Amino acid sequence: MTVQTGIHSISAARRAKDRFVQVLVYLSFALAVIPLLSVLWLVVGNGLKRFDLTFLTHSMRNIGATDPGGGAYHAIVGTLEQVLLASLIAVPIGLLTAVYLVEYGNGGRLSRIISFFVDVMTGVPSVVSGLFILAFWILILGMTYSGFAGALALSILMMPVVVRSAEEMLRLVPHELREASYALGVPKWRTIVKVVLPTAFTGIVTGVMLAVARVAGETAPLLLTVFITDSINTDPFDGPQMGLPLYVFDQAQRPTNTAIDRAWTGALTLILIVMLLNLVARLIAWWRSPAKRGS
């Protein structure tokens, strides 16, 4: 009886500790969700005032701070083009870097140096990337303010996120798959292309979308490299080009309720674009997943 009583007391103590830890986890989750929900509530509640077709199809050309109307079409076009260009630059470089670190680096000196600089780039403030592009691309090389200059600054911020996320996904691919491919006489590069990358495709896409979400709302690099304009500019390689973060910054600093309403709606539009891009990425990842292809 004494032994059974001791066992029951130990079990009760373990259950009490387990319940206590669960309560802490749920409480931490609630504390983390409350700020997120409050931000979404404010953005949606204030942004719906001007979220209409006019806002999505018109620019701010010839629209003053107190004038009604106006929209963010020029900023939406600029954000989409800048993020697309940044992704075209950062994703291939980041993915190839991750492939080298996982498949070819083997813990060598070069791979350790690359990993170190990737870690350093992860903590670099966004304004530093903007200053670098401003100094090198615009001041030294003499290029003009443009959407492409902003995309270069954004790509610097995207690269370490893509490298780290792709690296982790590639390491999760079972070595048995590689060994089976090698046993069939398949070269290493072909094994990477045909076996490793398709297996890790879903996780890589998720990492890319994290990188896109990371840079889509950046304002400081664009202030230094893109500049501000109220007109529509669909050419990212020539002249200033607006972006949604710049649009929100520009409208929010104007002391009128009309401009503030446009700023809230711009923030809501940016959130919706990021959510839509994530949804598209999820659908592509689901469509290309091994389970889906196998069925």
CB atoms within 10 A of CB 40: 12
Residue 39: predicted pLDDT: 86
The Cα 2–Cα 116 span in angstroms is 58
Query: Taking each helix axis from N to C terminus, what angle separates 201-216 and 73-99, rounded to the nearest 10 degrees?
Result: 140
Which of residues 290 and 101 earns the better pLDDT score? 101
Mean of the pLDDT values across residues 110-132? Answer: 89
Residue 85: predicted pLDDT: 94
Residue 98: predicted pLDDT: 92
- For residues 31 and 124, membership in a common domain is answered with no
**pLDDT tier, 52 (very low <50, low <70, confident <90, very high otherwise):** confident
* Residue 2 pLDDT exceeds 70: no
- For residues 74 and 90, membership in a common domain is answered with yes
- For residues 39 and 60, membership in a common domain is answered with no
How many CA atoms are closer than 13 Å to the CA of 134, on its beta-carbon side? 14
- For residues 208 and 192, membership in a common domain is answered with yes
Nearest to 171 by CA among 194, 149, 133, 204: 204
- For residues 27 and 165, membership in a common domain is answered with no
* Residue 60 pLDDT exceeds 90: no
- For residues 68 and 38, membership in a common domain is answered with no
- For residues 235 and 286, membership in a common domain is answered with yes
pLDDT (tens digit per residue) in 151-182: 999 999 999 999 999 999 998 888 888 888 88
- For residues 212 and 66, membership in a common domain is answered with yes
% of the chain beyond a pLDDT of 90 = 28
Write out the two tokens for 291. Answer: 């389970």
Asked if 285 contacts 202 with a C-beta cutoff of 8 angstroms, the reply is yes
CATH code of the domain covering residue 226: 1.10.3720.10
Residue 90 has what DSSP assignment?
H
The Cα 246–Cα 221 span in angstroms is 10
- For residues 158 and 68, membership in a common domain is answered with yes
Identify the three-state secondary structure at position 112.
helix
- For residues 266 and 163, membership in a common domain is answered with yes
Which of residues 278 and 291 earns the better pLDDT score? 278
Write out the two tokens for 49. Answer: 């005032």
Task: Give a three-class secondary structure readout of 136-188.
Answer: HHHHHCCCCCCHHHHHHHHHHHHHHHHHHHHHHHHHCCCHHHHHHHHHCCCCH
- For residues 188 and 74, membership in a common domain is answered with yes
Domain carrying residue 28: 2-47
- C-alpha to C-alpha distances, 54 to 46, 51, 71, 130, nearest whole angstrom: 17, 8, 6, 32
Predicted TM-score (pTM) of the model is 0.85
* Residue 93 pLDDT exceeds 60: yes
Helix (H) or strand (E) holding 228: none
Residue 142: predicted pLDDT: 87
Q: Quote the number of domains for the chain.
A: 2
The Cα 242–Cα 70 span in angstroms is 14
Averaged pLDDT of the chain: 86
- For residues 137 and 219, membership in a common domain is answered with yes
